């Protein structure tokens, strides 16, 4: 919590740009204690150039009388009694119509703003002139305000996560010209009107910025969605339609949106747009048993058939079973290639790609086993999206626990997978194990990229011999504004042993140490600033989305 001294410093801050921020609030029979606490949270703002626009569709006179008696002399508070209740969207639009500010900030009639919420938003607007939309972290608060709980620490703008759920939610601020341009809120989406509104705003925004601070408090009481999601089940279907219409507007008319068992969460199923050739490059660094299990699973389970397998070995790789090689060659789907380089995974893959001609490349480690028959369709459909660079899978250890579900940069001073060891059926933190979203990286044990993008980036960085070549590739794709997609429906087993306790010879240990240092030097910026797909409030000591401890570095 901020000290009074810090809030006073904020009040005295002179910004180069100090826009009027309008806060439209639709009222409907709001309990007077809630109404007072909401209004007071706005009055307590350290940034003072705001206006509160109250549009009241109540069936009783209590809210009107209370506002006029208690706040009648506050010129920054505008009140309008509506002729009738027109629902959440209609009442909110009436409040927006009263607004004269350059920005609109959404606040529910029973929620609260942290005292520095508007200050932090205006600070971002001054630092980033292209900030057409800004959102913050949030938490929930008990009915009597006695306890704050369930903080929602969010990533920076995450398109696939937003299409899976309304993770942005509160506090959301957008330029009024955008709000006016999209026509405000739509009554057809009451219950998920904020979700529909946010989707349409971000479609028009030049840039969307995130403030990783809890600046909004969502009140939980029996009738609120926060306290009882089932109180508004109709909103679930409205949210699905909102995502579906968003996809139509942005050029994905054939994408299908399905509801998930988790309230307010969805899965977008993208279509394969063209039947492109996929080359699957399988690293031949395991046993014959590993290779047989991997290749057989691809051949027997894959429902997409326009692919070819290249089994990739280096000069130091032991020869595989000749009988099995002949068996695979007879399928006409498999080619064995051998690079002249030794002990450099990046170089071996780069050499192999030069001998392939598929439009899309899948890098697959030989200790994996396909589970989902449609894995290639799902990878290809996502990879064919213009904004996507690389697509990754969800991997399990043989016991069914999570081996990989996305990579966070900064873990263990380099990079690491999240939620390792969680149950296969676990929803994960805020259902992240069950929904599609963007991470900064995915594992090279199973990833797809277009040949064009791979070649434009110069392939894998051959300075990385054994580790982080996959993470580095993803980060370089991100520098080109390409999104990295984690799709939990692309499922595989991984028989690779956990790294902890794994024996390495002296030369390999040296290579690993060199890789780690090279990676830290190459990506010093993101390591210092923090992974944009994570949140600075989460720990980097573990990948379990637990809150950062006080003794961790800022």
Helix (H), strand (E), coil (C) string for 301-319: HCCCCCEEEEEEECCCCCC
Predicted confidence (pLDDT) per residue in 394-423, tens digit: 999 999 999 999 999 999 899 999 999 999
pLDDT band at 175 (very low <50, low <70, confident <90, very high): very high
Q: What is the pLDDT of residues 239-262, one digit of tens each?
A: 999 999 999 999 999 999 999 998
On the question of pLDDT at 88 being above 80, the answer is yes
Confidence (pLDDT) at 144: 84
In angstroms, what CA-CA distances link 36 with 72, 102, 112, 252? Answer: 13, 26, 10, 44
Question: Which residues partner with 365 through β-bridges?
Answer: 283
Q: Average pLDDT for residues 4-23, to the nearest whole number?
A: 97
Q: So what's the pLDDT on residue 475?
A: 98
The 10s digit of each residue's pLDDT in 315-326 is 555 556 778 888
Query: Does the pLDDT at position 464 exceed 90?
Result: yes
Express as a percent the part of the chain with pLDDT over 90.
82
Q: In this structure, are residues 295 and 309 in contact, taking their beta carbons and an 8 Å threshold? A: yes
Q: What is the pLDDT of residue 283?
A: 85
Q: What is the pLDDT of residue 231?
A: 53
At which residue do the structure tokens 């690779």 appear? Answer: 496
Residue 501, pLDDT score:
42
pLDDT at 137: 98
pTM: 0.94
pLDDT at position 500 is: 45
Which residue is listed with tokens 């706005």? Answer: 42
List, for residues 292-320, the tens digit of each pLDDT value: 999 999 999 999 999 999 998 755 555 56
**How crowded is residue 550: how many other Cβ atoms within 10 Å of its Cβ?**
5
The pLDDT tens digits for 506-546 are 777 888 899 999 999 999 999 999 999 999 999 999 899 99
Residue 121's alpha-carbon distances to 46, 134, 205, 246, in angstroms, are 11, 7, 16, 26
Please state the rounded mean pLDDT for residues 212-221.
93
Ordered DSSP codes for 279-301:
EEEEE--S-HHHHHHHHHHHHHH
Among the listed ranges 75-79, 261-265, 285-289, which one has the minimum average pLDDT value? 285-289
* Cβ neighbour number for residue 212 with a 10 Å cutoff: 18
Nearest to 47 by CA among 201, 156, 171, 164: 171
DSSP string, 235-283: HHHHHHHHHHHHHHHTT-TT-EEEE-SSTT-EEEEPPP-S---EEEEEE
- Preceding amide of 262 cis, omega within 30: no
**pLDDT score at 535:** 96
Report the candidate in 140, 133, 126, 114 with the shortest Cα–Cα distance to residue 172: 133
**Cα(49)–Cα(122) distance, integer angstroms:** 10
Mean pLDDT of the chain: 93
* pLDDT tens-place string over residues 376-400: 999 999 999 999 999 999 999 999 9
Please state, in angstroms and rounded to a whole number, the distance separating the CA atoms of residues 339 and 460.
15
Neighbouring CB atoms inside 10 A of 500's CB total 5
Segment 132-155, tens digit of pLDDT: 999 999 999 998 888 999 999 999
The residue that leads in pLDDT, 230 or 358, is 358
Instruction: List, in order, residues 6 or more apart from 94 with CB less than 8 Å away.
Output: 26, 55, 57, 80, 82, 86
CA distance 104 to 172: 8
């Amino acid at each position: 919590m901020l000290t009074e001294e810090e809030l006073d410093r904020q009040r005295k801050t002179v910004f180069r740009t100090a826009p009027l921020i309008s806060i439209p609030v639709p009222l409907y029979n709001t309990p007077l204690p809630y109404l007072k606490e909401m209004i007071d949270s706005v009055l307590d703002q350290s940034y003072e150039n705001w206006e509160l626009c109250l549009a009241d569709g109540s069936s009783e006179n209590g809210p009107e009388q209370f506002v006029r008696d208690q706040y009648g002399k506050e010129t920054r508070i505008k009140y309008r009694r509506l002729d009738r209740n027109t629902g959440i969207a209609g009442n909110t639009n009436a409040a927006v119509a009263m607004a004269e500010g350059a920005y609109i900030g959404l606040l529910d009639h029973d929620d609260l703003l942290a005292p520095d919420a508007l200050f932090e938003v205006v600070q971002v607007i001054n630092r980033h002139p292209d900030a057409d939309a800004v959102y913050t972290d949030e938490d929930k608060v008990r009915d009597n305000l006695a306890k704050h709980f369930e903080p929602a620490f969010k990533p920076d703008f995450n398109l696939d996560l937003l299409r899976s759920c309304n993770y942005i939610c509160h506090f959301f601020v957008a330029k009024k010209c955008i709000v006016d341009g999209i026509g405000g809120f739509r009554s057809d989406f009451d219950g998920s009107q904020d979700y529909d509104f946010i989707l349409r705003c971000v479609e028009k925004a030049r840039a969307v910025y995130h403030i990783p601070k809890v600046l909004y408090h969502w009140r939980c009481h029996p009738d609120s969605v926060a306290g009882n999601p089932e109180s508004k089940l109709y909103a679930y279907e409205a949210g699905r339609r909102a995502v579906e219409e968003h996809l139509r507007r942005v050029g994905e008319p054939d994408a299908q949106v399905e509801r998930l068992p988790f309230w307010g969460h969805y899965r977008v199923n993208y279509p394969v747009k063209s039947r492109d050739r996929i080359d699957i490059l399988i690293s031949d660094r395991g046993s014959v048993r590993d290779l047989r299990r991997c290749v057989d699973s691809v051949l027997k389970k894959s429902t997409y058939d326009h692919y070819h397998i290249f089994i990739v070995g280096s000069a130091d790789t032991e020869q595989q079973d000749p009988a099995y090689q002949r068996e695979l060659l007879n399928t006409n789907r498999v080619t064995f290639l051998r690079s002249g380089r030794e002990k450099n995974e990046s170089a071996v893959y780069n050499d192999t790609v030069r001998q392939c001609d598929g439009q899309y490349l899948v890098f697959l480690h030989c200790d994996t086993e396909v589970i989902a028959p449609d894995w290639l369709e799902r990878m290809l459909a996502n990879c064919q999206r213009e904004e996507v660079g690389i697509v990754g899978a969800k991997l399990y250890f043989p016991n069914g626990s999570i081996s990989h579900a996305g990579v966070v940069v900064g873990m263990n001073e380099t990079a690491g997978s999240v939620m390792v060891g969680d149950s296969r059926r676990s929803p994960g933190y805020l259902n992240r194990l069950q929904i599609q979203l963007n991470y900064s990286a995915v594992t090279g044990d199973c990833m797809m990229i277009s040949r064009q993008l791979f070649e434009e980036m110069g392939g894998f960085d051959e300075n990385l011999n054994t580790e982080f070549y996959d993470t580095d590739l993803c980060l370089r794709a991100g520098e080109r504004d390409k999104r990295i997609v984690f799709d939990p429906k692309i499922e595989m087993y991984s028989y690779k042993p956990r790294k902890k306790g794994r024996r390495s010879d002296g030369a390999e240990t040296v290579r690993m140490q060199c890789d780690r240092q090279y990676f830290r030097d190459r990506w010093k910026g993101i390591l210092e600033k923090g992974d944009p797909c994570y949140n600075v409030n989460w720990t980097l000591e573990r990948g379990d989305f637990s809150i950062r401890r006080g003794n961790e570095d800022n």
